[in-house]
Structure 1
Amino acid sequence: MATDWLDWDGATDRTRFGLFFALVVTVWIAGTAILLAGVLHEVPAVVLTILMALLLYPFAGYCVRRYHDAGASGLWAFFVFVPVIGLFCLFYLLTAPTDARGDVELFPIEWPVAGLILLSCIVGFAVSRVFWQPFHITDAAMKPTFLVGDYVIGTRVIGTPDRNAVVFFRHPSDGDYSAARVVGRPGDRVQMQGGLLYINGWPVERLALRPFVEEFREQGPNRIWPMCAAFGPAPGTECIKRMYVEQFAQETGHTILDVQNSPGDHTPVFTVPADHVFVMGDNRDNARDSRFAPEQGGIGFLPTARIMAEARFVLFSSGARRPVAIWAWRPERYFASIE
């Protein structure tokens, strides 16, 4: 049996990659500083440049693998090769013969060094893109934590996420990215009774807040209509829902919506199996989550292997179908942390 030594499965693999990553970063930082200082002669400078270039190739393969795992195109990884080309250009400039006239310098060293710094920033961004991922919210399952039109940054999850974490994953029904909150970890018993969440037989504390109010209109690129407590409000009028703060034991509280009575308000007891989590949308009556089986359009128990990232903050938000509509931007949500 063969394994990918850059895979995330297993503590040994993660430690090995962490050490390799630290080595590459150290070599690039130290090498750039040495080249900037100009303390090396041409031959040692060429050797150092080649070493810095060669270390990028394992990163390129790793990037392709991680982009494919995240459902993105592996073409992103070719940004890693851009510094390789730049380094060979620098190799040529370092070894090219100098003009015979002493008052003319055809290739000032500041140019390749500046290019090396720029290319180092590019490869740093390309490599970092493996560890984080942007997501566009197009449904209402996580209101009010996410609004339709939010652009959220998530970071890669290692192991089983904590309870209360908001995670992104591929939905088992359609394969699209979805977001939900982890409410049950392996071994937990989860149940809904009368719209109230119970974990291991104990009700989760919640506190009523002022109602959540939004305009009843089409939202986002999919033109979805919000669900309201009152049936059939006129377009352009207020859409009102009950809102609560839900508080897990020793965890940060988060807001949820309770719109109306729904089948998901009453469930049997679910016992979360190993290597799985139980997830629910914060918009409880407008989410097909672990309370529903995949054949019902739900998620069922979510395997931790399907989790792509954990939400960290909202980068950008727009209430229009397209983000170019400046009048619909929501700056109050920019860089808002996820609770």
Structure 2
Amino acid sequence: MADTTETKHNSFGELISVIFQALILALIIRTLLFQPFSIPSGSMRPTLLEGDYLFVSKLSYGYSRHSLPFSPNLFPGRVWSGDPARGDVAVFKHPVTNIVFIKRVIGLPGERIQVRDGQVFINGEAIQRELTGQIDNVDITEETRPVDVYRETLPNGVSYNTLDLSPRAPGDNTREFTIPEGHYFMMGDNRDNSNDSRMGVGTVPLENFLGRANIVFFSIAGGASPLEVWRWPAELRIGRFFSSAQR
């Protein structure tokens, strides 16, 4: 009987050890390599949709205090830093509220950015913008009508689609912003439904970047939770599984 009790005790101890090691490994992977992230709003439509679940590469931009859970103030700046590239879809923390956002990098440190009649200007030069058609799909646009789609191409060749919900939206005409050193100008692809650097977010310090959006590994429509497996047959967006989160 003593041997049986001791065996059960050892088995329980081994189980606790395995669980603890697994949790430590998961924390290391989440902190240093890849962090799962779910799209909370429609600001990046049509590139990313609510219900998309993706991996964010923490390696892309190095690490700051914001890379750690709860953002402890352990060290200033970034280590093993990599600069965000123009056109990157990146996850970052709001400079004031620390709320997590996902937007596209449009402007780099030292540049001047302005929007005129929906056209983005970088240092006074308009970026390439072409009307490619319309999308009439409420799951993609959240609108029950056709929505104009523009293809933008940045100076470095990065190209992506944007939605234009209204030709006279508040963000279609802005003042000229000068980006401070060490900061970036971020915009959502859903141009008329995005709180970004044109509005309340302002320019984003490099320190606040969490990582570069990488791959959509799961996607479900209709506001369904991934745990609601009974809704999978009707709501899963199979075509978005393992697709690029960039464009």
- Shorter-chain TM-score tier: 0.7 to 0.9
Q: Which amino acid aligns with 2:219?
A: S
Match of 1:127, SS state, is helix
Instruction: Give the TM-score, by structure 2 length.
Output: 0.75
Q: Which amino acid aligns with 2:131?
A: A
CA contact (8 A) 1:83 1:120 kept: no
Aligned partner of 2:156 in structure 1 is: 250
> Shift of residue 307 of structure 1?
1.1
Q: Which has the higher contact order (CA 8 A, sep 6+)?
A: 2
Aligned partner of 2:66 in structure 1 is: none
User: Map of 1:164-313 to 2, 5 A cutoff?
Assistant: 164-172=87-95, 174-215=97-138, 226=142, 228=143, 238-260=144-166, 261-292=168-199, 298-313=200-215
- Alignment gaps of 5+ in structure 1: 1-81, 87-118, 220-224, 229-237, 293-297
CA contact (8 A) 2:118 2:171 kept: yes
- Aligned residue among 310, 324, 331 for 2:238: 331
Match of 2:84, SS state, is coil
Match of 2:106, SS state, is strand
Distance 1:281 1:83 in 2: 46
Distance 1:172 1:239 in 2: 35
Distance 1:124 1:138 in 2: 27
Distance 2:122 2:165 in 1: 22
> Shift of residue 288 of structure 1?
1.2
User: Map of 1:110-189 to 2, 5 A cutoff?
Assistant: 126-130=27-31, 131-156=33-58, 157-158=61-62, 159=81, 160-172=83-95, 174-189=97-112
Higher normalized strand content (fraction of residues): 2
Distance 1:313 1:194, change over 3 A: same
User: Residues 28-84 of structure 1: CA distance to partner in whole angstroms, max 9, x if unpaired?
Assistant: xxxxxxxxxxxxxxxxxxxxxxxxxxxxxxxxxxxxxxxxxxxxxxxxxxxxxx999
User: Residues 254-300 of structure 1: CA distance to partner in whole angstroms, max 9, x if unpaired?
Assistant: 111111021111111111101110000000000011012xxxxx100
Distance 1:175 1:214, change over 3 A: farther
Q: Which amino acid aligns with 1:128?
A: I
> Shift of residue 152 of structure 1?
1.4
Match of 1:138, SS state, is coil
> Shift of residue 308 of structure 1?
1.0
- Alignment gaps of 5+ in structure 2: 1-13, 63-80
Distance 2:17 2:187 in 1: 47
Instruction: Give the TM-score, by structure 1 length.
Output: 0.55
How many residue pairs match? The answer is: 205
How much is the aligned-residue C-alpha RMSD, in angstroms?
A: 2.6
CA contact (8 A) 1:83 1:123 kept: no
